[in-house]
Amino acid sequence: MAPSFSLDDWAGPRRAQVDAWMRSRLAGAAPAAFADALLWPVAAGGKRYRPLLCFAAAEAVGAGPDAPLVLAAAGAVELVHTYSLVHDDLPCMDDDDERRGLPTVHKKWSDGVAVLVGDALLTEAFGALAECGPADRALPLVARLAQASGHRGMVGGQAWDIGLGGPITDGEGLVRLHRGKTGALIEAAVWMGAAAGGANPGQLDAAARAGAALGVAFQIADDVLDADEDAGDSGPPSYVKLYGVAGARARAEALLAEATDALAALPRADALRALARYTLSRSV
């Protein structure tokens, strides 16, 4: 990594780009109140971690953020993430009144509106990708995003999380939950960025390995940041409860090493390496 690389400098314009892209994809919805509700969770902001991974993976194989399919992939991943938050916040799910200091969609409008907003954001993710080309590069991105988001990925993880599979008592169950709930989309973001950027099969494989490691590391880091080993049996299951703070931290470091190792196969992975380190230090 070049010593002068600044993740903040790199990320700023890319965040602005994906924000503008999402707004443009949702512009002109009707009725007007629905357009407002659609834009609300997008305008609430966020670190745009998943689109940044996507841009970084494309860059790692030589494609810039202006390539239409790279931008669409980054935006589609964030639309899926945003829809999942809107549905998650519903009273019948996590029941959150605020997100990023603002009322959630269902608090500001209604539960029904929040259901529809989530449905529309999810649908638009696929629609936007499908309006890009070339077809033989865009279609696998649709397939991968669906796989990561649906019952085999994120929604499947949510089903475990709301207890449909009974209590989670071991590491295997916890990994399965989080691989679905958060890991699958993070892994897909890296894969999709590389694929949109024109990665060859070897590069795509490296991106997939790095993404898979980061997906799990992300959740462990979250648990470490929220660490409370004394919480006992109360609260949700976590890596810290299972392995302790030191054990969880060691596992996250090992995954970071695994990701960094995989990235050695990619020619321009500065940003992706910086994001991998950032994965362990933040809470997004």
Smallest gap from Cβ 201 to its own copies, in A, equals 17
Non-local CB neighbours of 184 within 8 Å, separated by 6+ positions: 147, 148, 149, 152, 153, 154, 157, 215
**How far are the Cα atoms of 123, 186, 193, 215 from residue 178, in angstroms, in the given order?**
23, 11, 21, 8
- The Cα–Cα gap between 59 and 263 comes to 12
Determine, following the binding rule CB under 8 A, whether residue 193 of this chain makes contact with its own copies.
no
Determine, following the binding rule CB under 8 A, whether residue 164 of this chain makes contact with its own copies.
yes
Residue from 3, 112, 167, 201 touching its own copies (CB under 8 A): that is 112
Q: How many residues belong to the site for its own copies (CB under 8 A)?
A: 57
Q: Contact region for its own copies (CB under 8 A) — 1-9, 135-143, 190-198, 253-261?
A: 135-143
Comparing CB distances to its own copies, the nearer of 147 and 260 is 147
Contact 270, 2 (CB under 8 A): yes
Comparing CB distances to its own copies, the nearer of 138 and 255 is 138
**Pick from 79, 48, 80, 84: nearest CA to 65:** 48
Determine, following the binding rule CB under 8 A, whether residue 167 of this chain makes contact with its own copies.
no
**Pick from 187, 166, 168: nearest CA to 233:** 168
Residue from 147, 198, 227, 242 touching its own copies (CB under 8 A): that is 147
Per-residue H/E/C for 247-283 = HHHHHHHHHHHHHHHHHCCCCCCHHHHHHHHHHHHCC
Residue from 12, 152, 236, 283 touching its own copies (CB under 8 A): that is 152
Residue from 97, 98, 119, 229 touching its own copies (CB under 8 A): that is 119
Determine, following the binding rule CB under 8 A, whether residue 92 of this chain makes contact with its own copies.
yes
**Pick from 280, 281, 276, 271: nearest CA to 55:** 271
- The Cα–Cα gap between 163 and 264 comes to 39
Amino acid at residue number 29? A
- Near its own copies in 5-64, by CB under 8 A: 26, 29-34, 37-38
Determine, following the binding rule CB under 8 A, whether residue 182 of this chain makes contact with its own copies.
no
**Pick from 6, 88, 102, 115: nearest CA to 46:** 102
- Near its own copies in 222-281, by CB under 8 A: none
Smallest gap from Cβ 1 to its own copies, in A, equals 35
Give the binding site for its own copies (CB under 8 A): 26, 29-34, 37-38, 83, 87, 90, 92-93, 109-113, 115-116, 118-120, 122-124, 126-131, 133, 135-136, 138-140, 142-143, 145-147, 149-152, 155-156, 158-160, 162, 164-166
